Structure formats: structure tokens, C-alpha cells
Amino acid sequence: MEARAATREAGIRFGRVPAWVLGALPLLLAALAIGGFAALGGPGLGERAGPPVEELAFERTVLEPGRIVLHVRNDGPDPVQVAQVTVNDGFAQFAMDGTEIGQLGSREIAVEYPWVEGEAYEVALLTSTGGTIAHEVPVAVETPDTDVGFLGLLALLGVYVGVIPVALGMLWLPFVGRVGENWVRVLLAITVGLLGFLALDATLEAVEIAGEGAAVLGGAALPFLGAALAYLALTGVDAHLRARAGRARDAGAAGATLALLVAVGIGLHNLGEGLAIGSAYAIGALALGAFLVVGFAIHNTTEGLAIVAPLAGGRPRLRRLVGLGLIAGAPAILGAWIGAVAFNPALAAFLIGAGAGAILQVILQLMPSLRDRAGRALTPATVAGIAGGAAIMYVTGLLVSL
Amino acid sequence: MASLTRRRLIGGLAPLVGAAAAARLAGVSPAGAAKHEHGATAGAAPGHAANHAAFRRGGRVDHRANGFDPHAILRDFDAGTVRREGGRTVREWTVVAEDKEIEVAPGVKFAAWAFNGRVPGPTLRAREGERLRIRFVNGSTHPHTIHFHGIHAAAMDGVPGLGAGLVQPGERTVYEFDADPFGLHVYHCHTPPLASHIAKGLHGAFLIDPKEERPPADEMVMVLNGFDTNFDRSNEVYAANSIPFAYMDEPIRVRQNELVRIYLANMLEFDLVNSFHLHGNFFQYFPTGTSLQPAEFTDTVMQCQGQRGILEWRFPQKGKFMFHAHQSEFTELGWVGFFEVV
């Protein structure tokens, strides 16, 4: 009782102070405390024991004739002095801006080395403390120039991998419109299976790529941050679309909204796929790139089915269908560009994670459509559909990854 | 990397995939065509092949800050101080062990342990039959010993548990024995962990001249060593007399037709063998220097850890002649140099 009275009394006293002051007060006190702590040189805390912690992440490796160019980022808490560079156990000449890489800083280290195509190299940076930080070039292949022709080639690649297969898959629309309600549910279940597989695959890949990037930029958290953001963003888009559809009272609106969400989710996924293809191209999967393209094309055709399955009830216009196809397929082009020109593990992990989050959201959106008249989503038929969808992705996925 | 695994697998699956479509796609790709033209020349930078492996341009180890210069160590023989005791020549040295940070490559510091402030330690030179007295002072923060190769009493062996045993920080002892047999020997700390105490710098050459003098020559000592700067039990840098590429940056000057004598000792740790290879010439090799008759006429000699010998030859022609370990890896990590014959 006494305590409550005291609080009320305090409340009355603070009531005269403007709200913004109350809001700023804790921040101000925190700033004062931090400032005082820093000014006094951190009383009570000694210097960290031991030698400096030297951590560098190799974000990108570019091979030019006679040169291996490393893009490194200081990942650790202390500055790193790069004193010397060895390639395959031999000191090599190199050019670098200064020697010190500050915390979070990045540098380009151009190592002169007469590398031979197809061979493997280990580039090691010898730091001022005598530590070595090694980076492997598993297969040396010249990095393509990023001129207009190359970007055009990658755009073509994106069209092959993303746009055309999705468009082909959307040709299942008349079939979807002809089959009965029960079969539509099965087709939607297959879509859920397809997407579930993609979400899992993307998550694992994003986590793997995140491990290569600078831990200080988020590391393994990045895919999940990307996934959460994409999930929330799509939920917002969904709420917005549903509000509009509710006003229009359009018969096929719910299906159209769902199709759009699926297209956006798949589009984000294809952005990540484009990244993988672009970076594979850049590190020299050039000759085999054609097979990669064929594999992805077969793999992605099924994604078209996922987009048109929710449209079974309506009669969408061609323009809308083209739009959906582009939303789902075209990001592969953008992904291929980013992957080849500015591949960065942290960015890639974030984007691929975003794809996974988007797909997860779409799956949750699709689930109600699987319900039969009794309101059950997981009937024997839909479960078989989900499993079948995952199996299709698994089998076609063998063409592109393992 | 994920994409590589992917690449390899795609390659394996190639026959399964529509070959016609693949061929069409490959044909479309201008980059694919350009790549084949590159195949033969990729990586070969014009002019680069003319250079040897070396440190980053313009980088030199600061010998002054290190307190020793490999060029000075080369011809620096420490005869100690001589006195007569009971009709016998007694030669005395004081050797101090200390902790010392040295630069082992430009910009790379290494927390070494050194005898008399240098790595390798002083080249102690005596004559066969003399009485030798080495006062050892441990100025380091770790226990150390000096173990000499040679024929001596067990208590003078400089190993833990015998004689003075481990010499604790701030303590001192005296090792005393006869200079026997003549030849090129080594000395080093024998405190466990042994590899670490030797590799961190506590080693040096110990030369006993025969009673009958060797022919006059331009004499040099090369102690082969290296440094494990990241403590992974393999060396990051290799050298003769500690500083990689020192005799590349500044060749060793010798005179045409003058007899050159190299006292060569391998004190490298972690690698099982080391070697010395001379370009454009052959040398007489005296294993351990315990005979005045050469055992071999060769241009390459191998030494295991602790092995040593004496090399003699003359340069009949002027010019620059390379010498290095014939373990090419050691060469490109610093153990290489030039003789410049004038």
C-alpha cells in the first residue's frame, strides 16, 4: 500500500514534465555514464591480456593473369598488420594500401603470382605478430571482366534459369483450371512441398555461406535476420492486399493475392539462386555453367506450377500472368549480376535467407487453401501432395546441388 | 565453397542432361569462347617470371634494431679470452641467455630467446686440446642450459638432471671441458620442450680448429635455421643466419680464385632435413669437419637436424652465383642468397 502511494506521488510529480524529456532522460544519463567511463579510462578494467586478436575474412577473390586479388575484411576486435604474403609456401610480391587494416576495414591485396589455370593455391597473409591467415583458391580460373557483354550474358543466364522455366511452368494454368476442387487441393499441397524443400535448402545454403563471411557483420545470424525481415515484409504486403481485395469483393481476389505472394516468395528465392549461379560463373564454372543452367531450368519449371495453382478458381488476364512470371523469375537476373560482380558472403547469406523467410510466409498463406469441406488441411491426399512436391524438388535438385 | 561442390557434381551429371540444349547454351556464351584462347597463357604475367621469391618490395629487416646483422655474423668468430693455467691454454667465454624480440621478416616480430643478444648465438672458436670454460648466465625469464656437442664429462653435458642441470632465471653456471675432437660442432639449449627452446633461437656454432692449421681461406659460418612464427610446429621463414633473403638483398662478396670455406651447421627445427646447394660450382665436403680429407666433391649436401660440415671451393669466374636449400620450399621462404665474385 505504501509503495503504491509512493509511485502515485512520483507519477504526479513527473506529470508536469513534458513527455519527450522523460523519453530522452535515460538516453542522456546513459550517454553521461558512458562518457564519464571513457573519460576516466574505464576504471577497474585492465588491458586485455595476450597478443592482438587477428581475424580477417576473405570476401572475394579475383584472378587476373599473373595476379591474385584478395578482398579482405578485418573481422576481429584489433587492427591487423599484413606484413608479408606467401602463395603455396613461397613469399610473393603484393600491392596493398598501407599495411594496417583497421577494425571492420577492408582492403584489396593484389598478389603477383604466375598462377596456372586449374591448379589449387593457398594464399597466406603473414601478420606483424607472425600469425598466418590462409585462404584457399581451390581451382584457379581467370575471373571474367565485368563489361557490358558479360552482364548481358548473365542477364541471358538469368532469363534461362528464372524467367523461361517459370513461364513454362505457368502453362499448367489451363490444366489447373480444368481439374476438380480436390485435385486443386492436391496441386496446392504439391506446391507447399516444393516450397518447403526450397526453404530448407535455402536456409542450409545461407548458413553455409554465412560461415565464409565476416562474423562481425552478423555471421550465422544473417540468414535468419533476412528470413525474419522477408517474412514480416510479406506479411505486411499480404495484409495490404487483403484489405484492398476485401473492398473490391472480387471473386478471384483471394486466389490472385495468394498467387502474387507465391510469386514474390519465389522471386526472392530466385534472387538467391541467381547469386549462386553468378558467383559460380565468376569463380570459373564457365564451361559447366551450361549444365548448371539446364539443371536449374528443370528445377524451376515446377515453380511456375506453384504460382498458378492458387489461380485455379479464377480467370486471370494475360498481363497479370506475365507480371507474376516476371516477379518470380526476373530476380534471377539481378541475383546473377550481384553474384558475379559484387559477391559478398554476408550479403549473399542475407539475401538467400530472405528468400527462405519469404517462402515460409507463402507456405503459411497456402495452408488454409488445402482445407477440405470438413476443414482438415492434412488429408491423405494433401499429405501425399506435400511429400510429392518435396520429392520433385529433391530429384530435380540433384541436377543442381547436393 | 558451395558453388564448387555444385560445379563438380554438375560436371558428373553432364551426360544425364540434354546434351543438345547444353551445346546450344555453350555456343551462345561469348565468355566460354574467350576462355579457351586464354588457356595457354592464363596467369603468366609478362616479366614476372624474371623475379625470385622475395619480401614485399622495399621491405628490409632492421638489423640495427635486431642488434645483429647476418652479414656480420657470417665472418664473426668469437675466440673468447685466453689465459695460461698450469702450462695449459684456457679459453673463456661468457654466454648470456635473454628474451629478445627480433624482426624475422620485414614487419614480422618474433619473441625469440637469444644467446648474447643474437640468433644464432656467437660462433665459439677454439683450438684442439685447449681447456674451455663457458660461464653461462641465464638472463631469461625461463630456465635454460647450454648443451655442447663434443667429448666431455657427463656433468658438463648441459642437460636437466646432470651437473648443474636446468639453470633457473637469474642463475649462472660454468661448463668446462677440453676442446675435443676438432671439427665443426654446435651448441644449444637442452631444456624441455626441446624443439621450442632450440627453434626460438638458443643455438649456435662451436668450432674447434685442428692443431695442424687448415689452409688460409675466406672463412664464413652459416647456421641454417628458421622461425615458426605462428606456433604450428612448422616454419614460416627459413634462412642461413636467421634473416631470410638477407644475402639476396646484399650478396656475399668473395674474391675470384680465393679459397672459400663455409662452416655449415643445420639447427633448423620441425623440418627433418635441410641442404646447401651451390650454383655454377662444386665444393669439397668435410662431414662434421673431423677429418682433413674431404669425403665428397659435390654441389649439394644434405644435413639432418644437428648435422654439420665444412665446405671448400674457389670461384674461377667473376659474377653472381646463387646458393640455397635444395628444398625449394625453404628457398622461396627465405633460405637463398648470392655470392658476388669480384
Q: Is residue A15 domain-resident?
A: yes
Look at residue A6 and tell me whether its pLDDT is greater than 70: no
Give dist(CA A124, CA A142) in Å, integer.
20
Shortest CA gap A195–chain B (Å): 21
Over residues B159-185, mean pLDDT: 97
Confidence of residue B26 (pLDDT cuts 50, 70, 90): very low
The mean of the pLDDT values for chain B is 88
Shortest CA gap B144–chain A (Å): 24
Give dist(CA A60, CA A214) in Å, integer.
11
Lowest mean pLDDT, pick from A140-149, A294-303, B291-300: A294-303
Give dist(CA A280, CA A154) in Å, integer.
11
Residue of B nearest to A280 (CA): B3
Q: Are residues A244 and A329 in the same domain?
A: yes
Lowest mean pLDDT, pick from A90-104, A203-217, B37-51: B37-51
Q: Which has the higher per-residue pLDDT, B334 or A203?
A: B334
Backbone angle region of A199, left / alpha / beta, with phi > 0 → left and psi within -120 to 50 → alpha: alpha
Chain A interface disruption, residue of B4, B5, B6, B235, most A CBs within 10 A: B6
Look at residue A183 and tell me whether its pLDDT is greater than 70: yes
Residue B2 has its nearest CB partner, among A86, A153, A205, at: A205
Lowest mean pLDDT, pick from A231-235, B73-77, B155-159, B276-280: A231-235
Over residues B8-26, mean pLDDT: 35
Over residues A121-146, mean pLDDT: 90
Give dist(CA A51, CA A131) in Å, integer.
10
Q: Tell me the per-residue pLDDT of A331-373, one tens digit each, with 9 for 90 and over.
A: 989 988 888 877 778 888 888 888 888 888 878 877 887 888 8
Which chain A residues have a beta carbon less than 8 Å from that of B46?
A: 66
Q: Are residues A227 and A89 in the same domain?
A: no
**Eight-class DSSP state of A48:** P
Over residues A156-163, mean pLDDT: 86
Look at residue A205 and tell me whether its pLDDT is greater than 90: no
Which chain B residues have a beta carbon less than 8 Å from that of A212?
A: 1
Residue B107 has its nearest CB partner, among A84, A291, A402, at: A84
Select the CATH number that applies to the domain covering B218-341 from these four: 2.60.40.650, 3.30.160.270, 2.60.40.730, 2.60.40.420. Answer: 2.60.40.420
Q: Are residues A268 and A391 in the same domain?
A: yes
Shortest CA gap B3–chain A (Å): 5
Question: In this complex, do A294 and B54 lie within 8 Å of one another by their Cβ atoms?
Answer: no
CA-closest candidate to residue A72, choices A54, A58, A51 = A58
Task: Name B81's bridge partners.
Answer: B92
Over residues A70-80, mean pLDDT: 91
**Eight-class DSSP state of B144:** B
Longest pairwise C-alpha distance within chain A: 83
Look at residue B112 and tell me whether its pLDDT is greater than 50: yes
What 3-state class would DSSP assign to A392?
helix
Q: Is residue A320 domain-resident?
A: yes
Confidence of residue A253 (pLDDT cuts 50, 70, 90): low
Q: Which residues contact A41 (CB under 8 A, 6 or more apart)?
A: none
Chain B interface disruption, residue of A294, A296, A299, A400, most B CBs within 10 A: A294
Which chain A residues have a beta carbon less than 8 Å from that of B32?
A: 286-287, 289-290
Confidence of residue A303 (pLDDT cuts 50, 70, 90): confident
Provide the H-helix boundaries in chain B.
2-13, 19-28, 30-38, 63-66, 70-74, 194-199, 246-249, 328-332
Q: Are residues A117 and A24 in the same domain?
A: no
Cell triple for residue B149?
656437442
Q: Are residues A272 and A344 in the same domain?
A: yes
Q: Is residue A142 domain-resident?
A: no
Backbone angle region of B142, left / alpha / beta, with phi > 0 → left and psi within -120 to 50 → alpha: beta
Question: In this complex, do B51 and A93 lie within 8 Å of one another by their Cβ atoms?
Answer: yes
Q: Are residues A180 and A314 in the same domain?
A: yes
Classify residue B15 by burial, with Cβ atoms within 10 Å: 0-12, 13-18, 19+: exposed
Task: Name A243's bridge partners.
Answer: none
Look at residue B303 and tell me whether its pLDDT is greater than 80: yes
pLDDT at A94: 94
Question: In this complex, do A399 and B10 lie within 8 Å of one another by their Cβ atoms?
Answer: yes
CB contacts < 8 A (A, B): 184
Over residues B283-290, mean pLDDT: 98
How many residues comprise chain B? 342
Residue A93 has its nearest CB partner, among B38, B54, B106, at: B54
Look at residue B280 and tell me whether its pLDDT is greater than 90: yes
Residue A39 φ/ψ, nearest 5 degrees? -65, -35
pLDDT at A246: 65
Look at residue A46 and tell me whether its pLDDT is greater than 70: no
* CB-based contact B275:B326 (threshold 8 Å): yes
CA-closest candidate to residue B25, choices A330, A156, A339 = A156
pLDDT at A158: 86
pLDDT at A401: 53
Lowest mean pLDDT, pick from A133-137, A220-224, B146-150, B252-256: A220-224
Q: Tell me the per-residue pLDDT of B203-259, one tens digit each, with 9 for 90 and over.
A: 999 999 999 999 999 999 999 999 999 999 999 999 999 999 999 999 999 999 999
Where a domain ends, among A88, A110, A137?
A137
What number of CA atoms fall less than 13 Å from residue B235's CA on the CB side? 34
Lowest mean pLDDT, pick from A10-14, A61-65, A260-264, B46-50: B46-50
Chain B interface disruption, residue of A58, A94, A126, most B CBs within 10 A: A126
Give dist(CA A208, CA B67) in Å, integer.
49
* CATH number reported for the structural domain that contains residue A69 in this entry: 2.60.40.10
Q: Which has the higher per-residue pLDDT, A268 or A112?
A: A112
Question: In this complex, do B6 and A112 lie within 8 Å of one another by their Cβ atoms?
Answer: no
Q: What is the pTM of this model?
A: 0.76
Q: Are residues A30 and A69 in the same domain?
A: no
Q: Which has the higher per-residue pLDDT, A98 or B247?
A: B247
Give dist(CA A200, CA A192) in Å, integer.
12
Which chain A residues have a beta carbon less than 8 Å from that of B29?
A: 153, 286, 289-290
The mean of the pLDDT values for chain A is 82
Q: Is residue A51 domain-resident?
A: no
Residue A89 has its nearest CB partner, among B2, B30, B333, at: B333
Q: Are residues A126 and A69 in the same domain?
A: yes
Give dist(CA A46, CA B130) in Å, integer.
55
pLDDT at A16: 77
Residue of A nearest to B56 (CA): A93
Look at residue B34 and tell me whether its pLDDT is greater than 70: no
What's the domain range around A96? 56-137
Question: In this complex, do B35 and A398 lie within 8 Å of one another by their Cβ atoms?
Answer: no
Over residues A24-51, mean pLDDT: 82
pLDDT at A384: 94
What number is the ipTM of this complex?
Answer: 0.80
Shortest CA gap B172–chain A (Å): 30
Look at residue B18 and tell me whether its pLDDT is greater than 50: no
Residue B22 has its nearest CB partner, among A91, A141, A294, at: A294
Q: Are residues A95 and A156 in the same domain?
A: no
Q: Are residues A133 and A255 in the same domain?
A: no
- Number of structural domains (chain A) is 3
Confidence of residue A294 (pLDDT cuts 50, 70, 90): low
Question: In this complex, do B35 and A290 lie within 8 Å of one another by their Cβ atoms?
Answer: no
Question: In this complex, do B3 and A280 lie within 8 Å of one another by their Cβ atoms?
Answer: yes
Q: Is residue A301 domain-resident?
A: yes
pLDDT at B5: 37
Residue B31 has its nearest CB partner, among A128, A131, A286, at: A286
Question: In this complex, do A288 and B7 lie within 8 Å of one another by their Cβ atoms?
Answer: yes
Question: In this complex, do B56 and A292 lie within 8 Å of one another by their Cβ atoms?
Answer: no
Residue B329 has its nearest CB partner, among A89, A144, A288, at: A89
Chain-centre distance for alpha carbon B296 = 22
What number of CA atoms fall less than 13 Å from residue A257's CA on the CB side? 23
CA-closest candidate to residue B141, choices B198, B200, B97, B84 = B97
Q: Which residue has the cell 641467455?
A: B97
Query: What residue ranges of chain B are covered by domains with CATH 2.60.40.420?
Result: 74-209, 218-341
pLDDT at A224: 92
Which chain A residues have a beta carbon less than 8 Å from that of B107?
A: 81, 83-84, 99, 128
Question: In this complex, do B105 and A289 lie within 8 Å of one another by their Cβ atoms?
Answer: no
Identify the CATH homologous superfamily for domain B74-209.
Cupredoxins -  blue copper proteins (2.60.40.420)
Shortest CA gap A331–chain B (Å): 19
Q: Which has the higher per-residue pLDDT, A170 or A48?
A: A170
Task: Name B185's bridge partners.
Answer: B206
Q: Is residue A321 domain-resident?
A: yes
Question: In this complex, do B13 and A398 lie within 8 Å of one another by their Cβ atoms?
Answer: yes
Which chain B residues have a beta carbon less than 8 Å from that of A396?
A: none
* CB-based contact A223:A268 (threshold 8 Å): no
Over residues A19-45, mean pLDDT: 85
Look at residue A242 and tell me whether its pLDDT is greater than 60: yes
pLDDT at A197: 86
* CB-based contact A63:A137 (threshold 8 Å): yes
Residue of A nearest to B335 (CA): A90
Range ranked top by mean pLDDT from A10-14, A147-151, A287-291, B197-201: B197-201
Chain-centre distance for alpha carbon B153 = 29
Over residues A146-174, mean pLDDT: 86
Residue A83 has its nearest CB partner, among B10, B13, B108, at: B108
Q: Are residues A367 and A277 in the same domain?
A: yes
Q: Are residues A119 and A167 in the same domain?
A: no
Chain A interface disruption, residue of B5, B8, B9, B10, most A CBs within 10 A: B10
Residue B4 has its nearest CB partner, among A116, A139, A205, at: A139
Question: In this complex, do A290 and B22 lie within 8 Å of one another by their Cβ atoms?
Answer: yes
Q: Is residue A218 domain-resident?
A: yes
Q: Using alpha carbons only, how large is chain B's radius of gyration in Å?
A: 26
Q: Is residue A60 domain-resident?
A: yes
Q: Which has the higher per-residue pLDDT, A247 or A370?
A: A370
Look at residue B6 and tell me whether its pLDDT is greater than 70: no
CA-closest candidate to residue A72, choices A52, A92, A55 = A55
Confidence of residue A138 (pLDDT cuts 50, 70, 90): confident
pLDDT at B10: 32
Residue A126 has its nearest CB partner, among B21, B23, B236, at: B236
Confidence of residue A8 (pLDDT cuts 50, 70, 90): low
Confidence of residue B21 (pLDDT cuts 50, 70, 90): very low
CA distances to A234, A330, A331, B42 from A282, rounded to whole Å, are 31, 20, 18, 15
Lowest mean pLDDT, pick from A308-322, B102-116, B261-275: A308-322
Lowest mean pLDDT, pick from A286-290, B32-36, B108-112, B243-247: B32-36
Over residues A207-229, mean pLDDT: 83
Look at residue A155 and tell me whether its pLDDT is greater than 50: yes
